[in-house]
Homo-oligomer: A and B are copies of this chain.
């Protein structure tokens, strides 16, 4: 029955666009999205894209879920250092672990790339991918966002969930292209966003093929980096995993600029959008001055110049988060 219904929906193209985006106000961004989908899905249209070639790419932090007051994966890594500390008494005297264990937020804000690399090395390597993802799932099931008091996987943007679903209904593949770790995001992307592991592109570490005690092969995470999927790394990651230029790209910060630029350089109809966090009341308001999710003035100027759509969370979104599913 579900099959028949989706057949009927396809037969009428993207007719359900208006109804598919209930959390979007009837402002410019929603209209642009629906017009774009109609152009690329209408057979005979000069912008028609065959269903199997329809690709949309979404940044994760700040585009699909909350990234303030800290990237969720950084919070995860810090929590892991605390959890692992009893097995590492030496950490009490060694930075950056000493500051983490002392909950010295000021010191953590001054952490260098090298400090973060040390934290990632002890929390994100030395185990199999399967073991790592079980750790992530367990953490996500228990951890709560400090302000919203909900699991991080519920601190996702309802309008973006609707947009992804709307695009999938119109035969787009909706890839996540994140600066976050590929294995970290794969641990929850299917359940949270409906995005399967093969459609998650992220920062990648090297892995080593080994055998466990029973002789079963497994992939062990190593501390070496293979790809930082941010800035120019985003088109590179898109090429590695997808091998096609997207028709649509969605981001929120300077780390997404090259992905949008690369998407926009293709022929035919293209849709590039940036979520602007201007809603301190319902979420956060930040931009050029923020260290996390920087939306620089240069990016805003570029968006204006190139016709990229800037989404105002305040004005364009009716709701921010999905209805609570927990009993609180």
Whether A207 pairs with B219 at a CB distance below 8 angstroms is no
**Number of A interface residues, CB 8 Å?**
34
Residues of chain B within 8 A (CB-CB) of A7 are 3, 7
User: In this complex, what residue of B is CB-closest to A232?
Assistant: B209
Residues of chain B within 8 A (CB-CB) of A235 are 209, 217, 219
Assess A241 versus B239: contact at CB under 8 Å? Given A209-B232, A216-B265, A258-B209: no
* Contact of A280 with B by CB under 8 A: no
User: Which of A20-28, A197-205, A292-300 sits within the interface?
Assistant: A197-205
A residues 170-204 in Cβ contact with B at 8 Å: 173, 182-183, 186, 196-198, 200, 204
* Contact of A244 with B by CB under 8 A: yes
**Roughly how many angstroms separate A236 CA and B261 CA in the complex, as a whole number?**
30
Assess A182 versus B243: contact at CB under 8 Å? Given A217-B262, A235-B209: yes
Whether B243 pairs with A204 at a CB distance below 8 angstroms is no
* Contact of A242 with B by CB under 8 A: yes
**Roughly how many angstroms separate A242 CA and B186 CA in the complex, as a whole number?**
11
Number of copies of this kind of chain in the complex: 2
Q: Which of B198, B219, B239, B243 contacts A236 (CB 8 A)?
A: B219
Residues of chain B within 8 A (CB-CB) of A261 are 217
User: In this complex, what residue of B is CB-closest to A185?
Assistant: B243
* Contact of A240 with B by CB under 8 A: yes
* Contact of A129 with B by CB under 8 A: yes
Query: In whole Å, how far is A203's beta carbon from the nearest beta carbon of chain B?
Result: 12
Query: In whole Å, how far is A167's beta carbon from the nearest beta carbon of chain B?
Result: 16
* Contact of A94 with B by CB under 8 A: no
Residues of chain B within 8 A (CB-CB) of A207 are 236, 239
Residues of chain B within 8 A (CB-CB) of A258 are 209, 217
Whether B236 pairs with A209 at a CB distance below 8 angstroms is yes
Whether A129 pairs with B239 at a CB distance below 8 angstroms is yes
Q: What are 14 contact pairs spanning A and B, CB under 8 A?
A: A7-B7, A182-B243, A196-B243, A197-B243, A207-B236, A207-B239, A208-B232, A209-B236, A209-B258, A217-B265, A219-B239, A226-B226, A226-B227, A241-B241
Ranked 8 nearest A-B pairs via Cβ: A197-B243, A209-B232, A198-B242, A216-B265, A217-B262, A217-B265, A186-B243, A241-B241
